[in-house]
Structure 1
Amino acid sequence: MLQYSRILRLKEEGFSLRSIASSTGNSRQKVTEVIERAEKKRLSGPLDEEMDDKWLEDFLFPEKALENSGRQPLKFDYIHDELAKPNVTLTLLHHEYEAECRMNNKIPYSYRSFLRHYSNYAAKYKATMRIRRKPGEIIEVDWAGSTAFILDRDTGEKVKAYVFVATLPCSQLSYAEASLSMNLSSWITAHNHMYEYFGGTTQIIIPDNLKASVTKHTLQELVLNPTYREMADHYKTVVMPARVGAPKDKPSVEGAVGVISTWIIAALRNTHCFSIDELNHEIQKKLKEFNNRSFTRKHGSRFSAFEEEEKFALSPLPSKSYKMSVWKTAKVRPDYHVSIESMFYSVPYEYINRQIEIRITENLIEAYFNHMRIASHKRLYGKFGQFSTNPDHMPDNHRIYIEQNPENAKEWAKGIGENTLAVIGYLLEHSQNEKLALKSIFSLKKTEQRYSKYEIERACKMILSMTPRPSVKAVQTLLLNNKKSDTEQELNRKIEKRESKYGFTRGDAYYGGRDNNE
């Protein structure tokens, strides 16, 4: 047997590979293999007394124990690493192993023996066993059944604090946080802090059927809380709630709840905290102790198992944590606004009297109809009754009225003609006040719905030739009279044109040179 302990001790003392090989009588290639395998398994000195050469051989080269059986050796490290990949199972790996044995003319292990040998290896040398749970695949979340408490500074009364618990089933790393309620805001906040603690996200999150996470869950239909669904989309994870009345769907967090109730909640029973922040500070200290406690039946702790065998598999966090939003339904009022917390926000007037969904965040109000966003506004704060109105949401006649000011009036008149501009200029200059002038101009602008620009400009030119003090009423009268006159002229032209088709027909007497009067 190789002198594994001596090789590792000489390496620890700084001897070169050549010196170690010469001292132990092994090749440099073999010495290098032993040292590399020890580094990969993070084995460093000083070694304990029970770590003799036999123990080290079993630890560093577990496949050697199977070499004398005459069967194809199992590559345990390869199997363990492959099981971390998505959709890779022991059944698939055993099938590939059998194919390799046929190519090498070796006898393969049966699937049951293959499974037993890997399980023994993982239980002895690895912090996690990847048969049922893959790293980075699932987070299980729940509220603990037991509650903590804080003290009211004024009355000394105990105030309940509810403890949120999350667990990664593969490494069993857990997170805990206290909150004064179990409402949606506390639920989302705890999730944000949980993801920051783990430093990444998983493919799936499994909650219980709380109102904060699930609106409806039956065999036929699953409806998630809109805010919770939005949070999951933000972290690019999929929500798969546990079945109603089926705690075995999330056994890891159920077990963690019991352990955390003992090692954190019960451990803090004599600790007096006067705020939720103080309580969470104490919880974090106990949580650190809990996650770093050594496993009783295998090497390492929850934290070391996470660092070595699960952290690499987590998906990266988004650049910003999820911002809390609330969804409500609202009916669009006849003035094409919706009321949100006594503030009013416009939507396109086509949605009047329709039910729409409203997404409310700290700084934004968004309106959706059939999952399509139709409006967004900066959220209003302060005095109740404020309006946020987008002119694009108004009917045309409303928008024209709202946009009335001297500059817009002159700009409109320029687009019609110089005579119209002269009329508008006179109205703005000589009216009793600007508001009355703009009201008159608005009436004139509305005539554009019935008359062309040419007709408006012609009427303004005619009124200016008649009087130095034009009025909108006079222009409107001219427009009407001109319209009637144009209609009559057009009718007369049509009659003349029709009659011109029937002229006098000269007979044979005319062309024969005879005069009928003779």
Structure 2
Amino acid sequence: MESAVNTVNKRVIGYLAEDVWMTLAELNEAIAERVWEINHDIRRADGTTRFERFTEEEATVLSPLPDDVFEQVEWKELKVGRNYHVTADYQHYSVPYALAGRLLRMRLTGTRVTVFDGQQVVAEHLRKMGRKGQYSTDPTHVPHQHRNVSGLWRGTGSSTGHALLAPPPSWSSSRLVDRRVIEAQGYLDCQNILESLGKKNKQKLEAACQDLVNMRGYPSYSTLKRLMAGIESDRQKPAPVKPAASNLLNSNAATAELPDVYVRGADYYREGQ
């Protein structure tokens, strides 16, 4: 291999180093001529060319290339969420809703995601790339009645989110689920907000929701977190400085203008003064 690199360096790059081409096609044509010379014209020590050695000894024993391109495989073991999606690399992939809460195995390649329950394939998806938080949902995995599926969301469906994301409850959390193609895709967002932001700061979360209502904005996790941080920052601001109270008596003198102040100059302190 190193010998071949040295040959190309001398007989291709070395030969063409001082030439100039105006198009890429002209350059490729010049390179092809030099490579043809190396493979077909230059004789080796045994009198054969590289192309003759290839056709007589190597070509007949080569196997055809595989039909599928080789892809690196990564395996993960993940728990299915209440919204019957598994999350890998910040992307969400659906499985049959009856598997919510189960621990499944996931095989990820550069292009596909395959989910296994034991040895059985239960879901396949094209792998999502780019923006985080995308959903790939197979319509056959979706239950007919989301709120009647046990375990998908505790309480009475997304009304739990309505109760804790007030005020106004009917607007904040409904915006989270209504924006999704399938309602259950918004459950994870509601869960993250309620458990992360609202667990110890319910009043602050409600205040942030009210600010969002006033702005008519979209109640995402990052937006609410930013508003809550702003509320905390406002609370920690130092109190405004108030001027000190006057020590003058409450008389006409207190409101009169003070006379000009006269300061002795340097001449006053000279010797002999």
Q: TM-score range with shorter-chain normalisation? A: 0.3 to 0.5
Greater C-alpha Rg: 1
Structure with the higher helix share, 1 or 2: 1
TM-score by length of 2: 0.38
